[in-house]
Amino acid sequence: MQEFIDYFKDSLEIKDVDPKQYSPLVLAYIGDSVYDLVIKSKVIAEGNAPVNKLHKKTSSYVKASAQAKMFRRIEDILTDEELVIFKRGRNAKSSTVPKHAALIDYRVATGLEALIGFLYLKNRFKRIIELIVRGVE
Q: Which residues are designated catalytic?
A: 32
CB 91 within 8 A of CB 107: yes
The amino acid at residue 74 is I
Supply the DSSP symbol for 21.
Answer: G
Contacts of 119 (CB under 8 A, 6+ apart): 31, 82, 125, 127, 128, 131
Residues 6+ apart with CB under 8 A from 136: 39, 42, 61, 70
